[in-house]
Amino acid sequence: MTVLTSRLLASLPGIEHGFGTRNATLTQAAMASVKQIHSDVSFIAHESGCIGDGDAIITRDPGVAVSVRTADCFPILLVDRDTRAVAAIHAGWRGTAAGVVTSTLARMRNEFGTDPRNVFAAIGPGIGACCYEVGLDVARQFGKTEAGKLDLAMENRNQLIAAGVEADRIEKVGGCTFCHPAQFFSWRRDHNSAGRMISFIRIVAAGVEAGPT
């Protein structure tokens, strides 16, 4: 499989999504994207193309794919089953410490009335706690008192739950990017030669088979 999918998100009708591996042929050319800056800044997208500097993109427009690029950082995809808003989030340690998933859910509530209890979430492949040693400065951002392993996927999962997302509506997809060089790019492992993997989600446009009118 060159593009991984979440069983949970795939069970929701009219939503298309994927977490690209290093072998995927996905391109962001026809997707909404951001210049990622490791922040909690989000945008509402109405069309494809780069919207600005930030780390989360939300849309409720059918046909508009929202996307992020990662290599160790975590791609996180959200679906509000009721309002049918979707989001793509880029969460490394800085974005996670800034609470990017929490601020994205708040933005979805403000813009579309999203209730977190109706949200389904998939956390894609990123660097696992197995391979992610951080120093004291970073560890302190997560309430720890010593350097050591950091589980960024779990930190994001905990933030989603704290924001009101049901634990059984959060799925972890894919393994550790550092551990699986044949499948994933890893910035920590490959440094500047690391490519980026594209993850995306969109609401399938109704009647798309009929072509433009």
The 8-class DSSP code of residue 205 comes to P
- Scanning the structure block, which residue is given the tokens 């042929």? 25
In the complex with Zn ion, the residue whose CB is nearer, 124 or 128, is 128
Encoded amino acid at 145, one letter: T
Beta strands in the chain (DSSP E): 3-4, 15-20, 32-35, 42-44, 49-53, 56-59, 66-70, 74-80, 86-91, 119-123, 133-134, 148-149, 170-172, 197-203
Distance of closest approach, residue 131 Cβ to Zn ion, in angstroms:
3
In the complex with Zn ion, the residue whose CB is nearer, 120 or 132, is 132
Distance of closest approach, residue 182 Cβ to Zn ion, in angstroms:
14
In the complex with Zn ion, the residue whose CB is nearer, 81 or 180, is 180
Distance of closest approach, residue 190 Cβ to Zn ion, in angstroms:
14
**CB-based contact 206:13 (threshold 8 Å):** no
Where on the chain is the footprint of Zn ion (CB under 5 A)? 128, 130-131, 176, 178-179
Distance of closest approach, residue 13 Cβ to Zn ion, in angstroms:
35
The 8-class DSSP code of residue 63 comes to T
In the complex with Zn ion, the residue whose CB is nearer, 98 or 173, is 173
Residue nearest to Zn ion (CB): 176
In the complex with Zn ion, the residue whose CB is nearer, 43 or 184, is 184
- Scanning the structure block, which residue is given the tokens 């979707």? 86
Q: Tell me which residue of 179, 163, 185 sits closest to 87, measured CA to CA.
A: 163
Q: Tell me which residue of 74, 79, 30, 21 sits closest to 50, measured CA to CA.
A: 30
Q: What is the C-alpha to C-alpha distance for residues 184 and 181, in angstroms, rounded to an integer?
A: 5
In the complex with Zn ion, the residue whose CB is nearer, 35 or 149, is 149
Distance of closest approach, residue 175 Cβ to Zn ion, in angstroms:
8
Distance of closest approach, residue 127 Cβ to Zn ion, in angstroms:
7
